[in-house]
């Protein structure tokens, strides 16, 4: 049975196996408290890229310790990318009673009323610091009562943005409201990461293609080109060069694309075998021009970018064909976003060896 939970702590020591603890959302039969997981049981992301508060999904298995005793541990740990979190604003809060109501930003199935929350379900903030209009993110869980009633409970509540105070200024004898944004850099970085993490909700192929191009651009790849969608039959979605790496990439939402894209991949490989690439560049005025790029001596790769997991597919005459998870690209972006120094050589190295980040 799959269970969801929140990363409580992670221990990474040189020369020792990395591990961490998860606080489960529901009780685990035969086990009390947090549950341990090991680095090699994390799928789709490195344990170093997990952080306290991340939502994960896992299964529970028995682990035999050195002394022969059994311990329940978490395996097949997946980072949920916040995809199951909802957003809403506080409609009413009673700090003395320790409770309040949240109005979701989107209608919920079988739920037409505001959602009741309690102060014990707040994370990294106390109810004394909340006010009407504050924007929150949260998860929903069903509470099953013995009389058959099922009530939706709000859990794991985090503050996204405080309600912005309003000031009045006089302009030509007219009074207007002026919202003042008090966000600091830390808040802005967190919001950027959260917005990019919503890529798992994309279901339109054209939107996903544009999203990938945006992420690659945000990574700091300057020699990046997106092919014209109107004349894209049999061609890739884009091409980029950074450092010694040259990549032709294609985006797909298909889970099993191997056979479907076999001929296209072969076509991409044949193009990369040449010593140069000619790109049709779209201009802002609607026109276009051709640009020739030298790729001889470059580390040439074909990427099929998906919402699934990164994996090495095969190699053709030294040209590596990979499936690249868009989440792994986002992880590299987050490293760049939060790093004090992240040069082009660092980015090139990360992209060239991306396999199981």
- β-partners of residue 167 are 178
Question: In what side-by-side order are the strands of the sheet with 115-118?
Answer: 115-118, 99-104, 86-94, 135-144, 150-161
- Give me the percent of the chain exceeding a pLDDT of 90: 19
Domain C-terminal end among 54, 79, 104: 79
331, with CB counted inside 10 A (0-12, 13-18, 19+), is buried
Q: Is residue 261 part of a domain?
A: yes
Residue 205 or 245, more confident: 245
Cβ contacts of residue 214 below 8 Å, gap of 6+? none
Would you say residue 5 has pLDDT above 80? yes
Q: 278 and 157 in one domain? A: no
- The tokens 């890529």 sit on which residue? 199
Residue 33 or 176, more confident: 33
Residue 26 or 234, more confident: 26
What's 270's domain CATH number? 3.40.91
Report the C-alpha gap between 194 and 135 in whole angstroms.
14
pLDDT of res. 198:
64
Report the C-alpha gap between 334 and 46 in whole angstroms.
13
**81 pLDDT band (50/70/90 cuts)?**
low
What would the pLDDT profile of 248-287 be if each residue is shown by its tens digit?
Answer: 999 988 878 888 788 889 888 998 998 888 877 666 555 6
Report the C-alpha gap between 253 and 201 in whole angstroms.
11
Would you say residue 48 has pLDDT above 90? no
pLDDT of res. 144:
64
CA 76 to chain centre: 18
**49 pLDDT band (50/70/90 cuts)?**
confident
pLDDT of res. 127:
92
The 8 Å CB, 24+ separation contacts for 100-104 are: 100/127, 100/130, 102/136, 102/138, 102/154, 102/157
Q: 114 and 72 in one domain? A: no
Q: 38 and 14 in one domain? A: yes
Residue 14 or 262, more confident: 262
What would the pLDDT profile of 200-211 be if each residue is shown by its tens digit?
Answer: 667 778 888 888
Q: Is residue 282 part of a domain?
A: yes
Domain C-terminal end among 143, 166, 189: 166
What's 11's domain CATH number? 2.40.50.140
Q: Is residue 322 part of a domain?
A: yes
Number of residues assigned to the chain: 357
Q: 334 and 239 in one domain? A: yes
Mean pLDDT value across residues 157-184: 52
Q: 209 and 339 in one domain? A: yes
Would you say residue 228 has pLDDT above 80? no
Q: 346 and 212 in one domain? A: yes
Q: 123 and 224 in one domain? A: no
Would you say residue 180 has pLDDT above 70? no
Report the C-alpha gap between 266 and 272 in whole angstroms.
10
Range of the domain at 19: 3-79
Would you say residue 226 has pLDDT above 60? yes
Q: Is residue 329 part of a domain?
A: yes
Encode burial over 19-28: b for 16+ CB neighbours within 10 A, e otherwise: bbbbebeeee
Would you say residue 116 has pLDDT above 80? yes
Nearest 5°: phi and psi at 334?
Answer: -65, -40
Q: 234 and 132 in one domain? A: no
pLDDT of res. 21:
95
Domain C-terminal end among 118, 149, 166: 166
Would you say residue 303 has pLDDT above 50? yes
pLDDT of res. 197:
66
**309 pLDDT band (50/70/90 cuts)?**
confident
Q: 145 and 66 in one domain? A: no
**84 pLDDT band (50/70/90 cuts)?**
low
Mean pLDDT value across residues 39-49: 84
Q: Is residue 175 part of a domain?
A: no
Name the region of 76 (left: φ>0; alpha: ψ -120 to 50; beta: rest).
left
Q: Is residue 188 part of a domain?
A: no
Q: Is residue 219 part of a domain?
A: yes
Q: 133 and 106 in one domain? A: yes
Mean pLDDT value across residues 310-322: 90
**191 pLDDT band (50/70/90 cuts)?**
low
The count of domains in the chain is: 3
Would you say residue 57 has pLDDT above 80? yes
Q: Is residue 185 part of a domain?
A: no
Residue 340 or 129, more confident: 129
Q: 286 and 157 in one domain? A: no
Q: 99 and 75 in one domain? A: no
Would you say residue 167 has pLDDT above 50? no
């Amino acid at each position: 049975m799959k269970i969801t939970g929140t990363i409580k702590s992670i221990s990474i020591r040189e020369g020792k196996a990395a591990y961490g603890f998860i606080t489960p959302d529901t009780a685990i039969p035969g086990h009390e408290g947090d549950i341990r997981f090991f680095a090699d049981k994390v799928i789709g992301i490195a344990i170093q890229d997990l952080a306290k508060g991340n939502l994960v999904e896992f299964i529970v298995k028995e682990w035999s310790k050195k002394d022969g005793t059994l311990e329940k541990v978490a395996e097949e740990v997946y980072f949920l990318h916040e995809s199951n979190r909802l957003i809403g604003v506080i409609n009413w809060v009673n700090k003395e009673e320790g409770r309040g109501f949240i109005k979701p930003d989107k209608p919920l199935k079988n739920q037409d009323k505001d959602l009741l929350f309690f102060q014990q379900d707040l994370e990294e903030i106390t109810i004394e610091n909340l006010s009407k209009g504050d924007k929150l993110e949260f998860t929903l869980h069903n509470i099953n009562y013995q009389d058959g009633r099922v009530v939706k409970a709000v859990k794991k509540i985090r503050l996204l943005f405080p309600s912005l105070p309003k000031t009045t200024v006089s302009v030509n004898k007219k009074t207007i409201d002026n919202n003042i944004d008090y966000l600091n850099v830390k808040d802005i970085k967190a919001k950027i990461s959260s917005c990019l993490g919503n890529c798992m909700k994309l279901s339109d192929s054209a939107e996903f293609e544009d999203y990938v191009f945006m992420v690659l651009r945000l990574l700091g790849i300057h020699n990046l080109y997106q092919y014209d969608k109107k004349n894209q039959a049999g061609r890739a979605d884009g091409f980029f060069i950074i450092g010694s790496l040259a990549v032709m990439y294609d985006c797909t939402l298909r889970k099993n694309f191997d056979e479907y894209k076999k001929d296209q991949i072969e076509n991409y490989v044949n193009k990369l075998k040449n010593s140069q690439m000619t790109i049709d560049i779209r201009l802002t005025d609607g026109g276009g021009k051709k640009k020739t790029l030298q790729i001889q001596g470059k580390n040439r790769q074909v990427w099929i970018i998906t919402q699934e997991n990164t994996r090495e597919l095969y190699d053709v005459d030294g040209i590596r064909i990979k499936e690249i998870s868009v989440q792994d690209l986002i992880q590299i972006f987050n490293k760049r976003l939060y790093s004090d120094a992240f040069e082009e050589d660092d980015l090139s190295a990360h992209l060239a060896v991306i396999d199981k980040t």
